[in-house]
A and B are shown apart, each in its own frame.
Chain A
Amino acid sequence: QSVLTQPPSASGTPGQRVTISCSGSSSNIGSNAVNWYQQLPGMAPKLLIYTTNQRPSGVPDRFSGSKSGTSASLAISGLQSEDEADYYCAAWDDSLNGFSVFGTGTKVTVL
């Protein structure tokens, strides 16, 4: 039921910059902020970026978020082995009385 589309996978070597896209529509990303979650293997997700580009306390500044129109991006600079995880974007959708929606998820592999 996801209405936010992400690439299934992304990869990079340690130290590289990796970018993950999240494509939505005018009713979600186009009119609302975007959040990003990181899910390490076997763990519950963790909030990584909120309100499109804000980092919760404790999240390294290697992680950054941005948005343009109906698409958003998460960038990981200086990729580290511990960044190998699944990443999900999320946004509020104003249609059908409002609901939250997650992206399809992107598996990041550190080569």
Chain B
Amino acid sequence: QVRLQESGPGLVKPSETLSLTCSGSDDSTRDYYWSWIRQPPGKGLEWLGYIYQSDETKYNPSLKSRLIISRDTSENQFSLTLRFVTPADTAVYYCARGFTSSGTVDSWGQGTLVTVSS
């Protein structure tokens, strides 16, 4: 398994942009489906999307208009950008490594809580 670590601000104001970065412990960024998943406090998991080696991306249809997932292979990182956030976007955000195009994830970061509040 790879060690993943999310980083980014813990507090974002409504209508602003949430940006998170995930750093991996190895340089296998080309072989997997690098994913973002979130979990609102006390609620279930929600798949956000992934990016694959050829810059192929898949997004949750409910977030597609606000969400961008990108990667920087030189830095072994991939990122999430979510625009126009509302309090409903408050959640623990996990970055994860998937090994199938259907979103199967075998390694997770520890998660980072992002609160949307003024």
Contact = CB atoms under 8 A, between A and B. Distances in A.
A37 B39 CA distance: 14
Interface in B71-113: 94, 100-106, 108-111
B69 to A, nearest CB: 13
Q: How large is the interface on A (under 10, 10 to 19, 20 to 34, 35 or more residues)?
A: 20 to 34
Interface of B: 37, 44-47, 49, 58-62, 94, 100-106, 108-111
A101 B49 CA distance: 10
A111 interface: no
A51 B46 CA distance: 19
B45 A37 contact: yes
A51 B110 contact: no
Contacts of B106: 47, 50, 56
B105 A92 contact: no
A99 B47 contact: yes
Contacts of B105: 35, 37, 45, 47
B108 A96 contact: no
A51 B102 CA distance: 10
A2 interface: yes
A99 B60 contact: yes
A99 B61 contact: yes
Given A96-B61, A98-B58, A50 B45 contact: no
26 contacts: A1-B46, A1-B62, A32-B102, A35-B103, A37-B45, A44-B110, A45-B108, A46-B108, A47-B104, A50-B104, A51-B104, A88-B45, A90-B45, A90-B47, A90-B103, A91-B102, A92-B102, A98-B58, A99-B47, A99-B58, A99-B59, A99-B61, A100-B103, A101-B47, A102-B45, A105-B45
